Amino acid sequence: MQLDITFKNIDSSDALKDYASKRFSKLAKYIDRPTEVHVVLSVEKRRHKADISLNADGVMINAVEITEDMYSAIDMVMDKLERQIKKHKEKLQGKKGQAKVFFEGAAAERDKDKPRIIHEKDYFVKPMSIEEAILQMDMAANDFIIFQNTDSNQINLIYKRQDGDIGLVEPMI
């Protein structure tokens, strides 16, 4: 694996290079062929950004994380990249493992472009206030939480935005 690390608005540090190299060397177990990994570590005010482009088996995979600490940005972007690589490998294995069946007619053409549900998960919706939901989301380290708003008795969704803020989705009835 060829690792290229670029620093923007931050001094090049051997400690950061070594840390990033160790974290990205763990990707080798998911990738069969040699790959290129381009890492851009940048700082804008208090925002530490880790931006990764990985060329694996002819597929470009990108991941970006922005936090207040460069080491946590590297950790979080690594986790995101690992999930994307696993998902890509599962897709490839699914395509190879399926028997080829040829369909005739327009219905078959329409069905091949429809997305498939490949994973289902039961999600327990708890009644809580918006503030409680934000605390729950932070404690569980999730990117979102679905809850029943105790003020409006409606189902709401809170999610973490890429800029670090929090978004709220409320249904309009």
What 3 state SS string does 77-100 have? Answer: HHHHHHHHHHHHHHHHHHHHHCCC
Angle at 19 between CA 2 and CA 161, to 5 degrees: 95
pLDDT of residue 34: 62
Domain enclosing residue 130, as ranges: 126-169
Phi-psi region of 116 (alpha: psi -120 to 50; beta: other; left: phi over 0): beta
C-alpha 111, offset from chain centre:
28
- pLDDT digits 0-9 by tens, 122-158: 777 889 999 999 888 888 777 888 999 999 889 999 9
Sign of the four-CA dihedral 123, 146, 118, 161: negative
pTM of the model: 0.53
How big is the CA angle at 117 (ends 122 and 61), to the nearest 5 degrees? 105
Domain count, the chain: 2
Q: What is the CATH number of the domain that holds 80?
A: 3.30.160.100
Q: What is the pLDDT of residues 44-76, one digit of tens each?
A: 888 999 998 888 766 788 889 999 999 999 999
Instruction: Assess whether 84 and 161 both reside in one domain.
Output: no
Inside any domain, residue 139: yes
